[in-house]
């Protein structure tokens, strides 16, 4: 469900050369992490709702909305100090990890403009970047049982 945006957010979205732009906040969560890793796509750290978000360069592409396709988002984050990359390598590509994506304005960091919670999949790590897809498992197109009886696999019952 879509959130109502603040007046400041709507005003800045309509201006060609805005004074401030919305910031994406990331919270990487996993059972192996004692607390979520928090990042903001800016040059300075940000304190939002009592949590510190570390300034990091990353590229977040919001989920697409294409027909007959599960919505997918993309994330590419710098592998500074090999911290993020080491986490993904240790967890076999971030298996079981989720990413909470928040959108705020720097002038009102405690007001959450938008929020998404997505699963992390298909992570690739190199020396400079960790990138991957974000979305949900397409459970609606999976079989309901682990084994399906068909004439090719079980001819004796047909």
Q: Name the helix (H) or strand (E) containing 122.
A: strand 114-125
Residue 105 DSSP symbol: B
pLDDT of residue 80: 63
**Helix/strand/coil for 81:** helix
Instruction: Give DSSP secondary structure letters for 17-77.
Output: S-SS--EEEEEEE-TT-SS-EEEESSSS-EEETTEEEEE--EEEEPPP--TTS--EEEEEE
pLDDT digits (tens, 9 = 90+) for 39-51: 998 889 999 999 9
| Beta bridge mates, 37 | 28
Q: Residue 122: its pLDDT value, please? A: 81
Ranges in the chain, pLDDT < 70 = 1-2, 80-82, 137-139
Cα distances from 5 to residues 12, 61, 135, in angstroms, run 11, 19, 23
The angle at the Cα of 25, spanning 24 to 27, to the nearest 5 degrees, equals: 140
CA–CA dist 19, 109 (Å, integer): 15
pLDDT at 37: 87
Domain boundaries, the chain: 7-157
């Amino acid at each position: 469900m879509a959130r109502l945006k603040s007046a400041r957010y709507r005003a800045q979205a309509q201006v060609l050369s805005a004074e401030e732009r919305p910031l994406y906040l990331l919270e990487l969560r996993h059972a192996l992490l004692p607390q979520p890793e928090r990042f903001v796509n800016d040059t300075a750290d940000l304190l939002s709702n009592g949590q510190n978000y570390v300034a990091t360069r990353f590229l977040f592409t919001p989920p697409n909305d294409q027909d007959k396709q599960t919505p997918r988002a993309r994330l590419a984050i710098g592998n500074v100090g090999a911290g993020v990359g080491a986490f993904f390598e240790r967890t076999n590509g971030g298996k079981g990890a989720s990413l909470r994506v928040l959108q705020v304005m720097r002038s009102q960091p405690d007001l959450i403009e938008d929020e998404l919670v997505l699963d992390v999949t298909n992570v690739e790590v190199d020396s400079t970047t960790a990138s991957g897809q974000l979305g949900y498992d397409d459970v609606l197109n999976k079989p309901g049982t682990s084994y399906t009886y068909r004439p090719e696999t079980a001819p004796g019952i047909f």
